Structure 1
Amino acid sequence: MEKNSNIALLASFLIFSVSLQSVSAQEKASGEITGSVIDNTNKLAEYATVTLLKASDSSLVKGAITDENGKYHFDHVANGKYITSASMLGMVKAYSQPFTWRNSEKALEVPELVLLQNAHLLKGVSITSTKPFIQREIDKTVVNVENSIVSAGSNAWEILQKSPGVTVDNSNNTIRLQGKTGVQIYVDGRPTYLSQDQLAALLKNMNSNTLKSIEIMTQPPAKYDAAGNAGIINIITKKGKEVGLNGSITAGIGHGKHFRENAGTNLNYRNGKINLYGNYDFYKGTWWNDNYITRNFYDGTGKTLSTRTEQSSYHNSPSTSHNFKAGIDYYIDDKNTIGFMMNGAVNPSSDNRYNTTWFKNGDGSLENTSLTHSTEKANWTNYTYDVNYQGRYDSTGKELDIDVAYSKFDNTALDNYYTNAVYSDGTPLPDLPGSPNPNIRQGKTPTMIDIKTAKIDYTLPLKQGAKLSFGAKASFVTTDNNIQYFQLDNQSQQWLYDSATNHFKYTENINAAYINFNKEFKKGWGLQLGLRGEQTVSDGHQFTNDSTVKRNYFQFFPTVFINKKLDKNNTLNLSYARRIDRPDYQTLNPFRYYLDPYTYEEGNPYLQPQLTNSFNLSYAYKSLLIASLNYSNTHNVMAQVLKQDDSALITYQTMENLAKTKNIGLNVSLSIPVTSWWMSNNSINVFYNVFQGQFLGAYLNFGKAAYMVNTTNSFTLGKGFTGELSGYYNSSMLWSIFAIRPQYSVSAGIQKTLLKDKATIKLNVNDIFHTQHSYASVKYQNLDVTANNHWDSQSIGLTFTWRFNKGNVKAVHHRQSAIEEEQNRIKK
């Protein structure tokens, strides 16, 4: 099966490439656009990346690399108005003035592009979307979602699955970066204090038409909160950038196993000192999941199989989401701006789960069967309010930013469980103490979270090109979970309190300050030093048994970046960072969330934060190749584990602190224009994980090498058509006690521009061969478990977008709030 899928995957790439070559061969040569690139010392810029962009919306048309003489050319270009852009590592991107091309001309030479080392304002040109789907820089990888055809009609969760170095596990809603958990998810620079499940629900309801890009940072500088041992993934939403009234309207439909639809609009209006902006996105669809779990229970010797359970769990989750943002900026003068922003989400949803568990004897004969049907009706709301100030005091870069934000999350859910157990002949099982048959339970599971943050950042330019930045941040978080479970007494038909009922309140205050120094030295040396200090004060109170867990600690988090430009083609970068990863709020909550009476998830209020020291050595060659060698050592690592009650045949999932984990990895990224009509972005990440620590009465010492390959190819087909083919392959890997089998997927799409380039229509197919599923197993001490999980990964989508613009081109200011890191620890 796997061999056939690999053959199909390879064949799809070959067929697509051959068809594109056929299309290209049929086009007639009709002259070329040429030009050259130099730097600010008038030296020729060899191997600079040059892109041809449409002047109307700055969308990518073609890409090229300059030769040894700094020259480039584009051929087979349709009539239209264009601009060119040149970029090179360590230099500020340069743009040409708009020009008109007619393919009846033999040649057109664009005025020389000059790359500068210092930032200069660009006048008269609007740059709204200038980059390929995946852009790699020394300190981060940027996934430009708005340029992707395959991503149209998808959601943020699905796009993360295609991002280089990112692994998404749908069986437990875990996101890993370069094989490590502890990833902090930001939205517009603000942490989202969500738990795994809550974050997955949020991202699955975030449509791609609202997204601009995704930034992936494995070594964030001191300005960012120290949370996240694996790094930060920052999801950036679209924002208006022009004077006058401008925006876009998008509508899409799709179909996987179920029909889905989405629609949205982005609007921006600026006139004089006032800038208004906002967006709204609607999504309606059904997410489904099919999970098959087997568990083996052994006798006291641990050698003879006594019971085997086989569990089939299918659930579908219809949901509707409304996401919106509105804001206003007031330009007091050229140097001072104040703003107010409000965003929110309303996500009503339901969940229907059908779970069947077969209990078999050691010889394989069926003993009894348990059938559970559970439903959930939930409504998740989030409202964030943000007031901000931005000061830009002079041309040297003196800046002041102040941000105050308040966010409120409210989730109400009503769960119903009906379990009926029968012998192999269909006879009902008798009632047992604490476990009647049928077992009818009901749960009320509300979650309320309040987050308040205040943040200030100041940048002070120094002499000889040095820069000093410093700032402070305070956050105050309160979570309140009062979960009530009831069980129906079959005799009296009265609802009785269940032992799983609990009330947990958690408060946390983090006070932080940082200082960051940056300087460029002679002979190509650069240095950035940062130090961040954070004080954490927390109090977790469990009312049911009147127990309290209090913590108060202060820690320093240094960062060091050393850069050396060996020559015009080669650059080295060495960095070090110390980071912390705190448990999300719901993981600290000691409550139980049931799949059926034999399977549940439980929080751990005694979970400690984990600390990571990480090193990274990067090398860049001719702006074409970036390779990085990284090493990290995490102490007190938080790991997702299984525990088992052999006598009751119960297995549950929780989080535990192991002693440590080590990770060493090599990441190689290559972004090149293969031809004038084919741009290819590729990456491979090879790493080795080791997990060590005491668990279940034994010393755990597991290690395994793994690799991840990602490719995205963009094709210019002519006559307004562009295509995209992408794929990824994740080898077998290890996380904690879980062994995970390989996973891979191929997606493709095509786009056509319409209405004088003011509209686009995109058709895409995701997971063409339906290979994207997960298979995990655990065999450790008394645990012998396998899980095979399938979900709605294969789909086809059609998306239409219309852009309008009534005004002059000029960049405007939109703020990111200080509250996003706190939001990142909320489980949704």
Structure 2
Amino acid sequence: MKTTCCSLLLLLLLTEAFAQVSGKVSLPDGQPIPYANVLLLKSADSSLVKAALTNEQGAYQLEDIGAGSYILRFSYIGYITAHSAVFVLTTTDSNRNFGNQVLTAQSKQLSEVVVRAERPLLQQQQYGMVVNVGSSVLTKGSSVMEVLERSPGVAIDRRASSIALNGKNGVMVMVNGKLMRLSGDQLLTLLQGMSANDIEKIELMTTPPARYDAEGSAGMINIVLKKNRDQGSISLTGGYGWAEKASGSASLAHNIGNTNVYGAYTYSRDRSNVDWYSLATDNVPVLGGYTASLARSDIQPTMNSHNVNAGFDARIRSYTLGGSVSYNYSHVSEHVVNHAEYDVETGSKYILDADIKGVNKWHNLISSLFAEKTLAGGGQLNIAADHLYYTNNKPTNVYSIFLDQNGNPPPGNDPRFSPDQRGTSNSRIQVAVGKIDYMQPLSPALKLETGVKGAFTKNTSLSGIESLQNGQWVSRSTTNNHMIMKENMWAAYTSLNAQLSARVELSAGVRYEYSRTKMNELDTKAIIADRKLGKLFPTLFLTWKANERSDLLLSYTKRISRPTYNDLASFVVYGDPTSVETGNPLLRPTITNTLKIGMNYRQYNFSILASRDDYPIARYQISANAAGDLMVLSPQNLIYQDNLSFQTNMPVKISSWYTMNYGFTGGWRQFKLDYTARPVEKSYLAYAVNFSQLFTLPRSYAIEISGWYNSTAYDGSKKVNGYGAVNGGVKKELSRNRGTLQLSVLDIFKTIRIVNNYGAITEEAFNLKSRVPFSTESTRSQIIKVSYSRSFGTTRANQRTAESGSQDERARIRKF
């Protein structure tokens, strides 16, 4: 007890020994102003001592200030500059809070003068990297998925519908802090349909703090959308690759007193063509033995997507109330043509020709309400409630011919070889989420955060395959699935943030999560899974500001990746007569411990991450069914995976018109697995690099060339060859604020080809050895887009974006 009291006394003494100045900057209606300039000046000669920008909440803090007499200057584009009264800091009066500084709009505006403060493309923060996508010429006309694909450390496998961060799966994707509870293919479809014109930034959080859900062993990707007050915008894009591309969006926001209302609509269309082919040898019992095969698939999807968002927030004294509705409808029609040739060791030869047509329709509606109250002493209480509703309907019709060299089908009357097949896949997901967060400064140097959360999920799914035999549709019992899943999850967290000195900040927290997941087969009443899991997830962040140019960061986090509902479900998806895709109800959750050491020096940043994953999940792995006569693609647990990675981001300014940025993530990886025919342990080196070159030219022109490359890596027992792309764009800012024109060319050298290799490191089921190159649309033709965008109205501070109660709920159908 004595030691504790002494430590607290020492903490207070250290805190009082350093001077700091803090406060907020806002509009007359109380709306905070982010990125306002706050300058600390000497009162004697107005010379600059320190400078800072306000954060998203309009708050600022200047630290490590010597004793003396000062004034503060507050400025923001379009508003009258304000000054504080002269004040004196001493060793006994070292902490000064100036409260709320209100800035008023200028009564006159200069005509045809546009001033823009460009933020750097990449910024290192305590929890990870921030990508300011508006600083890239290639943003306009791109989709959100294309922007993500160009972000450092992010790898998107379009063939497997997966996203990895720093070489690891288990990534949670959020939009404005709301988790996307969608399957992998649905999420990529949504991201492809979202316009990057509406993005403010992307947060790549490798070590999220305790207030976020512990879900996501590799971290979180948060896509933050632009939301402006008293402003509107329009954007139109047209393009062509293999086929046409188009998108259009409009947004409008208006402030009425203390109430802000906003709405936006986006439509996008993308008709494309991708293909894959396979060279394989394996044992195929249904065909009679060891087989060499050649297969090719041409896939032509046409996607039409509609997104509507609307909401409001109102300030009533110390309260802020708000709500929002987000609706998305996506219609993807797909035509697939497959051709395969099988050469069996018995001398038989088979040829498969299949024509597959399917439609994927899905709706999602997200409703949110929130209330916030500002408490005495700078505290805040937040309450949020959300309801999420998703439906998905995906019928498929298959017509195929599977004959030997004599025109005969394989022996027997197996329904798998019926010429006519049809599949159904329907799912409905409902999620209710409630959340309470409380924050209170305990002293000028100590802040408490705590909260509780509950989430309740119900998911029903129906899927199956039928074969036409003798004029009757016959259900294939082994492919049918009628499942209901119910999950209850409770969580509580607390964290303390202590300013140990003017240079040292410590944040420590712990989160406890308890969940129970029950999955039942409705037709047979069989229990698929009944799991209870309760765990503590600690976090620790230590920051030391060495000087004005550099600081050091140290963090530790523990996180989890639970199997998604699709991972656990026993559904069966038709692949071809010799293989199917299904879930794995025996999957275990992944537990990840991560230690990170980082340094920021001027605009450069470096970090080292060491992590251990127990039972990481790898999808699309090869195994055999219970009868041993059918190849099954399903998710599987590895035993462990260790990563030791080095990261760096290095911006270089050659001149006022030429800037460069280079990023690198890479290091040593090791994993062990035992679900293959022969267990294997593998160590290897892997890396990812990205670069951008920006040329700012006269007459408001700009040119950007950027690129990225992901080296060879392993996804479970599957080897993925390296791949990358180089992109280019030209932008023209029209005079008199008449908008922006942009031309972009994606994948200039046609190099986004993802090659998967099975049987490369160990013996697979059925002794499979195959090489499967997947070619995106841009390998056929570069994708060229022309965009026009324009903003109108008064650009003011960003509107209030509430932290939704469901911000951590939207990736379990399927997260990565």
TM over 0.5: yes
Q: Are the counterparts in 2 of residues 470 and 513 from structure 1 also a CA contact under 8 Å?
A: yes
Q: Are the counterparts in 1 of residues 322 and 371 from structure 2 also a CA contact under 8 Å?
A: yes
Q: Give 1:817 shift.
A: 2.0
Distance 2:622 2:240 in 1: 35
Distance 1:472 1:719 in 2: 54
Residue correspondences, number? 726
Distance 1:434 1:222 in 2: 54
1:729-788 C-alpha deviation (Å, 9 max, x unpaired): 211122211111111211011111114134111111011001111112121212312110
Residue 478 of structure 2 corresponds to residue 495 of structure 1: no
2:449 is aligned to 469
1:22 is aligned to none
Distance 2:264 2:558 in 1: 37
Distance 1:677 1:367, change over 3 A: same
Aligned ranges 1:137-216 → 2 under 5 Å: 137-216=125-204
2:8 is aligned to none
Distance 2:312 2:326 in 1: 12
TM-score, normalised on structure 1?
A: 0.82
Aligned ranges 1:391-790 → 2 under 5 Å: 391-393=373-375, 397-424=378-405, 427-429=407-409, 432-435=412-415, 437-489=417-469, 491=470, 493-499=471-477, 500-522=479-501, 524-548=503-527, 549-621=529-601, 623-640=602-619, 641-644=621-624, 650-779=630-759, 780-781=762-763, 782-790=767-775
Letter in 1 for 2:306: H
Q: Give 1:366 shift.
A: 7.7
Letter in 1 for 2:313: D
Q: Give 1:696 shift.
A: 2.8
2:26 is aligned to none
Distance 1:810 1:707, change over 3 A: closer
* 1:193 match: secondary structure: coil
Distance 2:452 2:316 in 1: 25
Distance 2:358 2:47 in 1: 62
Q: Are the counterparts in 2 of residues 248 and 265 from structure 1 also a CA contact under 8 Å?
A: yes
Distance 1:331 1:84, change over 3 A: closer
1:354 is aligned to 337
Q: Are the counterparts in 2 of residues 125 and 809 from structure 1 also a CA contact under 8 Å?
A: no
Q: Are the counterparts in 2 of residues 290 and 313 from structure 1 also a CA contact under 8 Å?
A: yes
Q: Give 1:71 shift.
A: 12
Q: Give 1:359 shift.
A: 0.3
Letter in 1 for 2:312: I
Residue 355 of structure 2 corresponds to residue 373 of structure 1: yes
* 1:823 match: secondary structure: coil
Q: Give 1:42 shift.
A: 12
Distance 1:525 1:135, change over 3 A: closer
Distance 1:313 1:645, change over 3 A: farther
1:388 is aligned to 370
* 1:802 match: secondary structure: strand
* 1:222 match: secondary structure: coil
Letter in 2 for 1:530: G
Letter in 2 for 1:818: G
Q: Are the counterparts in 1 of residues 404 and 410 from structure 2 also a CA contact under 8 Å?
A: no
Distance 1:751 1:517 in 2: 46
Distance 1:299 1:456 in 2: 56
Match of 1:343 among 322, 326, 347: 326
Q: Are the counterparts in 2 of residues 702 and 737 from structure 1 also a CA contact under 8 Å?
A: no
1:383-437 C-alpha deviation (Å, 9 max, x unpaired): 011010122335x531111110001000112111112112236x24256322365
Distance 1:380 1:95, change over 3 A: farther
Letter in 2 for 1:604: N
* Sequence identity (%): 26
1:67 is aligned to none
Aligned ranges 1:27-38 → 2 under 5 Å: none
Distance 1:306 1:428 in 2: 19
Distance 2:134 2:159 in 1: 28
1:77 is aligned to none
Letter in 2 for 1:257: W
1:79 is aligned to none
Q: Structure 1: 5+ residue runs without aligned partners?
A: 1-39, 44-56, 60-69, 73-82, 101-115
Distance 1:450 1:117 in 2: 49
Distance 2:656 2:333 in 1: 49
1:258-283 C-alpha deviation (Å, 9 max, x unpaired): 10100001110111122100111000
Q: Are the counterparts in 1 of residues 740 and 789 from structure 2 also a CA contact under 8 Å?
A: yes
Q: Are the counterparts in 2 of residues 238 and 266 from structure 1 also a CA contact under 8 Å?
A: no
Distance 1:784 1:95, change over 3 A: farther
Residue 256 of structure 2 corresponds to residue 278 of structure 1: no
Letter in 2 for 1:817: S
Distance 1:645 1:117 in 2: 69
Q: Give 1:251 shift.
A: 0.6
Distance 1:698 1:94, change over 3 A: farther
1:67-115 C-alpha deviation (Å, 9 max, x unpaired): xxx999xxxxxxxxxx99899x996999755499xxxxxxxxxxxxxxx
Q: Are the counterparts in 1 of residues 418 and 468 from structure 2 also a CA contact under 8 Å?
A: no
1:49-71 C-alpha deviation (Å, 9 max, x unpaired): xxxxxxxx999xxxxxxxxxx99
Over aligned residues, Cα RMSD in angstroms? 3.2
Distance 2:555 2:684 in 1: 25
Letter in 2 for 1:439: P
Q: Give 1:212 shift.
A: 2.1
1:684-721 C-alpha deviation (Å, 9 max, x unpaired): 01122211132235322112111111112222112111
Distance 1:213 1:695 in 2: 40
Distance 2:389 2:217 in 1: 26
* 1:152 match: secondary structure: coil
1:162-196 C-alpha deviation (Å, 9 max, x unpaired): 10001111110111101000000011101112222
Q: Give 1:214 shift.
A: 1.1
Distance 1:263 1:387 in 2: 28
TM-score, normalised on structure 2?
A: 0.84
2:205 is aligned to 217
* 2:745 match: secondary structure: strand
Q: Are the counterparts in 2 of residues 297 and 649 from structure 1 also a CA contact under 8 Å?
A: no
Distance 1:202 1:97, change over 3 A: closer
Distance 1:299 1:503, change over 3 A: closer
* 2:197 match: secondary structure: helix
Distance 2:704 2:390 in 1: 38
Letter in 2 for 1:414: P
